[in-house]
Copies of this chain bind each other. A is one copy, B any other.
Amino acid sequence: MLHSMRRRNCGRWTFAAAFLLPLLVARVMGAEKADIVVTNALVVTMNAQREVFSPGAVVIRGERIVAVGPAPIAGKFTATRTIDAAGGIVMPGMINTHTHAAMSVFRGLGDDVPDRLRRYIWPLEAKVVNADLVYWGALHGLVEMVEGGVTTFVDMYPHPESTARAAQKIGIRGVITYDVKDDLAPVRQFVATWRNDPLIIPALGLHSPYGASAEQIRQAALLSKELDLRVSMHVAEMDFELEELQKKYGQTPVEYLNSLGLLSPRLIAAHCIFLTDTDIALLKANDVGVAHNMVANIKSAKGVAPVLKLRAAGVRVGLGTDGAMSGNTLDVISQLGYVAKLHKLANHDRSVMPAIDVVEMATIGGARALHLEDRLGSLEAGKLADVVVIDTKSTSMIPLYDPYTALVYAASPRDVRTTIVNGREVMRDRRVQTVNTRDVAEHVRALTKNIEKIAATLN
């Protein structure tokens, strides 16, 4: 396993000469070098066999996982840093497949207001959103994600360069989308700027079938294909969206997007609440990824997306939080219980959507929805080292008969102790290492004065 890893990561002989020889020598001496070893862990791998090692260990070198297994494997390595998980759950970093991080500055505004998007959010955003607000709002939102064990997020918002800079600063992995309008030059510019960043995956954004024109959707489809870019879009989320498309084209949102050539493995369709069986077949045939946002969908009284059917059809489904005006929190752990329980309720069966399936969507399922499962979503040698440690000392985590049910039904995002992204310990012992979170909070509080004034005129 280790040998194949080395081959994959360090293919060039110059690199091998500089770095591999000392490791080989160390091995002869009895131990290989590593950067981080996580020990004393309840390791939930989410690999194909869903292996759990208790006690187990995870070994990281550079940006990759090099070994995962029962506790004794740690003994084969000498590491610069050893993290004692103290019996905590060590699992793949969670993937937030749909969010608007910068909207953290609006959290708690207009929560119980009817027709909020058109009457409240859009007018508010038109008046206050600028590159500075997006930078600080994204930083704040990303602090929350890292603190909650999210290691990859997919973002849609104006001023995506601000969000990308914030992600870079924090050290979180981001699929950051640039909204496609009529002029494609700035989109191409954005993609060129970020294409080679180790953490940022530039992508395209389209608001929705009703928020983008048919021509814009067609252009985005072509550009997505030309530059191999992912596209994120709100799909089949609104009742008025369904009505409009039915009236204009006699089509469902998915059929409409199919007619414009947008359905492809590169599309990440958020929400997908209102789907026909034909829609589900189209999503599967085109290998589209779905971002399931349960909390946001039910808080807005829209409905429960048919995720059991999607999964049965083999569609790739991950979890998303949506923005903080929709679901209020940006960590994935807070979604887990809702996802399990709402599908049980909607299907009148307490045995469907068991905890392990929910954890799957939060990790490897999210990676699959983004077509990144070759490098993310599970703890396996060779994958990128996105790893979180979750304390099991909180009262609600005791006793712990089953790590999946503990995570889904009893854990809090506040239980996340350590978040490692790309081999870097971005949060250590609940302290984000890369930004001063108090400064970020102060910046956000300062922004809210003006926001509050304008919001008051909209109620």
Of A112, A406, A415, A448, which is in contact with the most chain B CB atoms at under 10 Å from its CB?
A112
Having A301-B347, A331-B396, one finds 14 other A-B pairs with CB under 8 Å, namely A107-B398, A107-B410, A108-B399, A108-B406, A113-B351, A298-B342, A300-B350, A304-B345, A327-B409, A328-B337, A328-B410, A329-B410, A338-B338, A401-B448
Complex CA distance for A87 and B189, rounded to whole angstroms: 45
- Would you call A400 an interface residue if the criterion is a C-beta within 8 Å of the partner chain's C-beta atoms? yes
Asked if residues A112 and B401 are in contact (CB atoms below 8 Å), the reply is: no
Is there a chain B Cβ closer than 8 Å to A395's Cβ?
A: yes
Q: Is A309 an interface residue (CB 8 A)?
A: no
Q: Is A344 an interface residue (CB 8 A)?
A: yes
Known pairs A112-B350, A114-B351, A350-B116; A445 contacts B300 (CB<8 A): no
- Does chain B have a CB within 8 A of A349? yes
* 7 tightest A-B CB contacts, nearest first: A328-B409, A414-B414, A112-B354, A144-B395, A301-B344, A399-B448, A301-B350
User: Is A182 interfacial (CB 8 A cutoff)?
Assistant: no
Interface string of A292-304 (1 = CB under 8 A from B): 0001001111111
Which A residues between 301 and 317 are near B, CB-CB below 8 angstroms?
301-304
When all copies of this chain in the complex are counted, the total is 2
A341 CB contact (under 8 Å) in B298, B330, B354, B437:
B298
For A415, list chain B residues within 8 Å (CB). 414
A111 on the interface (CB 8 Å rule)? yes
Of the residues B111, B337, B347, B444, contact of A409 by C-beta under 8 Å? B111
- Complex Cα–Cα for A402 and B441 (A): 17
Which residues of B are found within 8 Å of A113, using beta-carbon distances?
Answer: 350-351
Decide yes or no whether A140 CB sits under 8 A from chain B.
Answer: yes
**What residue of chain B has the Cβ atom nearest to residue A403's Cβ?**
B108
Question: Is there an interface contact between B299 and A344, defined as CB atoms closer than 8 Å?
Answer: yes
CA distance A109 to B402 in the complex (A): 8
A394 at the A/B interface (Cβ < 8 Å)?
A: yes
Interface size on A, residues (CB 8 A): 64
Asked if residues B112 and A441 are in contact (CB atoms below 8 Å), the reply is no
Chain A residues numbered 97-149 whose CB sits less than 8 Å from any CB in chain B: 105, 107-109, 111-114, 116, 140, 143-144, 147
Contacts of A409 in B (CB 8 A): 108, 111, 299, 327-329
A residues 243-287 near B (Cβ < 8 Å) are none
CB pair B108–A341 under 8 Å, yes or no, is: no
Query: Which of chain B's residues have a CB closer than 8 A to the CB of A7?
Result: none
Q: How far is the CB of A154 from chain B (nearest CB, A)?
A: 20
- A116-B350, A412-B412 known; A109+B344 contact, CB < 8 A: no
A210 CB to nearest chain B CB (Å): 19
Residues facing B in A385-417 (CB within 8 A) are 394-396, 398-402, 405-406, 409-410, 412-415
Partner of A108, one of B330, B351, B405: B405
On whether the beta carbons of A295 and B410 are closer than 8 Å, the reply is: no
Check if A452 is an interface residue, CB within 8 A of chain B. yes
Closest chain B CB from A316 CB (angstroms): 23
Partner of A328, one of B298, B330, B348, B396: B396
User: A181-209 toward B: CB 8 Å interface, digit per residue (1/0)?
Assistant: 00000000000000000000000000000
Whether the Cβ atoms of B396 and A329 lie closer than 8 Å is: yes
**A398 is contacted by which of B140, B301, B304, B413 (Cβ under 8 Å)?**
B140
